[in-house]
Structure 1
Amino acid sequence: MKIGCCCNMIATQKDGIGFEHAKNLIELGYDYIELPLAQLMALEDDDFLKIKESLKLFGIKCKTCNNFFPANIKLTGPAVNESVVKDYVVRAVGRASQLGVDTIVFGSSGAKNVPAGFDHKKAWTQLVNLLNYVDTVVRPLGIVIAIEPLNKSESNIINTVKEGCDLAKEVDSPNIGLLVDYYHLMVENDDMYSMIPFSDKIFHVHLANPEGRCFPSPTDTANYKEFFSLLNKIGYNRRVSVEAYSNNIGQDATVALNYLREIIA
């Protein structure tokens, strides 16, 4: 497995991207970085080009992006503007492709949360229709979408592994699959073994300590070993991104990387 880090969770700059940590993370030994697509989309063309050129200059791989949609682009409810959504999808996927990204994470709670009083079945259909369109955009570029179930404190739709897989299966595309996030899995009290029937649909993994959403370490009470053992059992051998907060990124990122490599080995 390749181990990466989501930069937006440790961002210190106003843009919220966290690219200021990218070079250091690679020097520490991380295999790649994961950048937030919605925040990348907020950049002017020149600023985006600087990040693109810096990735090449420093030999940094950005193979995954999280935060597909910003909260102001609504994906469910009566206020959905399909032309705005489709235009955003084309432009966002285009920017991701320029960076060499092959996996985009679809969590985006602010964008997809169902408005109060709106029929959840209709909202589900809206997400199916959205992903059917997204599929037509990403498939020619060789990019896959990983649906991320989020715990109920963040999202009111797609909260479990099964629900994420049900959505992916309804879209029925080889380019639409699932992200399993250990943090959300534990906070939601979802059964990690529920991923076994959907092993062929798991495209990506996120990881953080369920207590405080911080970087994993050997002193945590979380059962990371059981989680990775299960990933091995189902044949998962793709990427795992640490998506966590930190007050001491150099120390926390180093401890986490060494610990995870030990578990994987």
Structure 2
Amino acid sequence: MSIRWSIRIRSLSELDDARAAGFDRVQLTVDAVMAWDDAGFQAERNRLLATGVSFEVFEAPLPRNVQVTEQGFNTYLWTEYLNTAVRRISELGCRTLVWGDGRARLLPVEGDISTSKEHFYQFMFILCGIAEQFGITVCLEPLGPRRTNFLNSLDEMDACIALIGKHNLSMMFSPRDLVELHADLTELSKYRQKIAHIHVENPEVPETSSPPRASDRYDYLAFFKALGIIDYAGVISLPAGSRKDTLAYCRQLWASAEADV
């Protein structure tokens, strides 16, 4: 099973720290590549590629304050944004684009929610269509009710993927998600063909994405064994702030899990 380890970073200023911690892959937000005009981006692209760091995975196709399900959401404006953004991340080597921003898909608490859902499905179809042109897989993350009120289970996410009907749409999750969703690790085999990315976060800190530690009470080894059982082979991203010992701990767990599967 081929596992590639990555670290989520919040800005390019964290790139050197990521490399110092032993990571040769980083997971950056899409808006980080939208700070320049085309000429400025090309210069930055050349600099970033020269570092030897892989930008295989990006996250958050839209800025965090943008809500697709909000009345007045400008589909045309954000489609134009995505056309540029997805092209740019592809030029940096992106192959997977993950989206775990629960606010972006919040449904209204009163009134008809069917229109809001339809807007989200339509936008995901557009996003996947753009990503498809560049060979990029899009991954949605099922989230607990603490973070959103839409797509709150693995089954709901599976149904969403089927409804949108794009071959490059998959799902991702983390231990934090599984705990919040009260999902059992044995359920993963049902979705093995649709799992394309993994985050590993400490579920004991539900309010934020926190690096896993050996002192945590969560059974990370069981989680990694479950991934081994479904033959997961891809990128596993660790939270921002992960250090050398975080990476070493997770690699050790993966090796132990692999030996037992």
Report TM bin, short chain. Answer: 0.7 to 0.9
Match of 2:248 among 254, 258, 264: 258
Q: What corresponds to 1:224 in structure 2?
A: 220
Identity %: 23
Partner SS for 1:63: strand
Quick one: distance in 2 between partners of 1:152 and 1:74? Answer: 17
Quick one: distance in 1 between partners of 2:118 and 2:33? Answer: 28
**Cα drift, residue 48 of structure 1:** 4.2
Partner SS for 1:141: coil
**Cα drift, residue 47 of structure 1:** 5.8
**Cα drift, residue 59 of structure 1:** 0.6
Q: What corresponds to 2:173 in structure 1?
A: 180
Match of 1:33 among 23, 26, 30: 26
Partner SS for 2:223: helix
**Higher mean C-alpha displacement, 117-126 vs 141-150:** 117-126
Quick one: distance in 2 between partners of 1:48 and 1:191? Answer: 44
Q: What corresponds to 2:259 in structure 1?
A: none
Contact 1:208/1:216, CA 8 A, preserved across alignment: yes
Quick one: distance in 2 between partners of 1:91 and 1:207? Answer: 30
Q: What does the per-residue CA deviation read over 1:98-144, in whole Å, with 9 as the maximum and x for residues that have no partner?
A: 21111111222232212332533332222221122122211121001
User: Structure 2: where are the runs of 5+ without partners?
Assistant: 256-261
Quick one: distance in 1 between partners of 2:228 and 2:236? Answer: 12
Partner SS for 1:21: helix
**Residue 109 (structure 1) aligned with residue 99 (structure 2):** no
**Higher mean C-alpha displacement, 219-228 vs 125-134:** 125-134
**Residue 208 (structure 1) aligned with residue 198 (structure 2):** no
Partner SS for 1:62: strand
Partner SS for 2:54: coil
Q: What corresponds to 1:14 in structure 2?
A: none
Q: What does the per-residue CA deviation read over 1:213-236, in whole Å, with 9 as the maximum and x for residues that have no partner?
A: 421122211111111111111111
Q: What does the per-residue CA deviation read over 1:72-91, in whole Å, with 9 as the maximum and x for residues that have no partner?
A: 43311432222122112212
**Cα drift, residue 7 of structure 1:** 0.4
Q: What corresponds to 1:163 in structure 2?
A: 156
Match of 2:233 among 233, 237, 258: 237
**Cα drift, residue 97 of structure 1:** 1.1
**Cα drift, residue 93 of structure 1:** 0.9
Partner SS for 2:78: helix
Aligned positions, number: 249
**Higher mean C-alpha displacement, 60-69 vs 164-173:** 164-173
Q: What corresponds to 2:15 in structure 1?
A: 22
Q: What corresponds to 1:12 in structure 2?
A: none
C-alpha change, 1:191 and 1:38, in structure 2 (3 Å) is farther
C-alpha change, 1:211 and 1:29, in structure 2 (3 Å) is same
Quick one: distance in 2 between partners of 1:117 and 1:23? Answer: 46
**Cα drift, residue 208 of structure 1:** 1.0
Contact 2:28/2:58, CA 8 A, preserved across alignment: yes
**Residue 44 (structure 1) aligned with residue 40 (structure 2):** no
User: Structure 1: where are the runs of 5+ without partners?
Assistant: 9-16, 247-251
**Higher mean C-alpha displacement, 135-144 vs 190-199:** 190-199
Contact 1:73/1:85, CA 8 A, preserved across alignment: no
Q: What does the per-residue CA deviation read over 1:4-60, in whole Å, with 9 as the maximum and x for residues that have no partner?
A: 10002xxxxxxxx2x22223323432241000113433x123664454233222111
User: Quick one: which amino acid aligns to residue 230 of structure 2?
Assistant: I
Partner SS for 1:179: strand
Q: What corresponds to 1:2 in structure 2?
A: 4
**Higher mean C-alpha displacement, 115-124 vs 53-62:** 115-124
TM-score by length of 2: 0.87
Contact 1:161/1:180, CA 8 A, preserved across alignment: no
**Residue 142 (structure 1) aligned with residue 135 (structure 2):** yes
Quick one: distance in 2 between partners of 1:220 and 1:72? Answer: 32
Contact 2:70/2:116, CA 8 A, preserved across alignment: yes
C-alpha change, 1:235 and 1:4, in structure 2 (3 Å) is same
C-alpha change, 1:25 and 1:72, in structure 2 (3 Å) is closer
TM-score by length of 1: 0.86
User: Quick one: which amino acid aligns to residue 110 of structure 1?
Assistant: R
Quick one: distance in 2 between partners of 1:231 and 1:132? Answer: 28
